[in-house]
């Protein structure tokens, strides 16, 4: 595992520890015994080719005596370059079990910007499984190195405010805490500069879904600013903790 992947792993482990590996209203019995088969498929999570293109190591707990619902990990060296994986539509798909491979529990499209030479994607919950996580892909000596981190019962911070009032200034600050953004939605005028500040204790990002902007990793106290020049609705997330999502609505007034 690369040093960068280890750093993401630490962030993910701390994250699930803070929000609860088994979240509110979710019991350990809802988690499915690992291991979970994982593959890289042609297509996207919405239109996935069911035949795997590249097999990945099963996603399993980091230790044999880990509690049910604990962080699960998979590490694989894939015989294909990172450049080739991002050049065509591919997705990482995780299955419930070898006995029930038709049930998908988490999936993420290989479409994102590089962060310190690594591709970090969110693995979104599928079929109400309760599982989500992140995958880190880096260039190895003979192909791509793929590391998956999966958790059960993760949730965004409940303290997030549903909507922030329309901005009356050309500068707006959004606090990032563990684990959520200060507001799930802000409404601003064209020309407004939004600054995200990591006020949490864990690294985060503010990354637009279509890579319009990407803060890259923000350590505690670090910030990132972006000026909105176009009207529209822009959804973003923390690429390290994909359950953290929010929206910026830009108007012409």
Residues 146 and 76: beta-carbon distance below 8 Å: yes
Q: 10 and 135: one domain?
A: yes
Q: 65 and 124: one domain?
A: yes
Q: 20 and 127: one domain?
A: yes
Domain presence at residue 140: yes
Q: 9 and 126: one domain?
A: yes
Higher pLDDT, 165 or 46: 46
Q: List strands edge to edge, sheet with 193-198.
A: 180-181, 171-177, 193-198, 223-227
Tens-digit pLDDT profile for residues 97-122: 989 988 999 999 987 656 667 788 88
- Residue-number span of the structural domain to which 75 is assigned: 3-152
Q: What is the pTM of this model?
A: 0.57
Split into its structural domains, the chain has a count of 2
Rounded mean pLDDT, 69-84: 87
Tens-digit pLDDT profile for residues 183-234: 788 889 999 999 999 988 788 899 999 889 999 999 889 999 999 999 999 9
- Report angle CA 79, 82, 88 to the nearest 5 degrees: 100
Q: 50 and 127: one domain?
A: yes
Picking from 227, 222, 215, the residue whose alpha carbon sits closest to that of residue 172 is 227
Rounded mean pLDDT, 9-18: 48
Q: 21 and 119: one domain?
A: yes
Domain presence at residue 54: yes
């Amino acid at each position: 595992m690369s040093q960068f992947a280890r750093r993401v792993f630490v962030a993910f482990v701390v994250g699930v520890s803070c929000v609860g590996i088994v979240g509110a209203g979710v019991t350990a019995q809802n988690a499915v015994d690992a291991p979970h088969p994982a593959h890289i498929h042609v297509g996207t999570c919405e239109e996935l080719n069911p035949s795997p293109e590249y097999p990945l190591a099963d996603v399993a707990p980091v230790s044999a005596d880990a509690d049910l619902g604990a962080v699960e990990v998979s590490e694989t060296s894939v015989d294909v370059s990172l450049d080739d994986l991002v050049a065509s539509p591919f997705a990482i798909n995780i299955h419930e079990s070898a006995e029930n491979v038709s049930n998908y529990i988490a999936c993420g499209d290989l479409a994102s910007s590089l962060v310190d030479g690594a591709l970090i994607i969110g693995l979104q919950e599928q079929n109400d499984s309760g599982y989500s996580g992140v995958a880190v892909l880096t260039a190895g000596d003979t192909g791509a190195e793929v590391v998956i981190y999966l958790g059960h019962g993760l949730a965004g911070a409940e303290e997030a405010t549903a909507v922030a009032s329309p901005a009356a200034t050309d500068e707006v600050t959004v606090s990032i805490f563990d684990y959520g953004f200060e507001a799930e939605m802000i409404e601003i005028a064209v020309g407004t500069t939004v600054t995200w500040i990591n006020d949490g204790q864990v690294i985060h990002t503010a990354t637009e879904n279509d890579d319009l902007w990407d803060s890259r990793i923000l350590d505690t106290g670090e910030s990132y600013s972006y000026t909105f020049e176009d009207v529209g609705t822009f959804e973003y997330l923390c690429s390290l903790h994909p359950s953290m999502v929010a929206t910026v609505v830009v108007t012409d007034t």
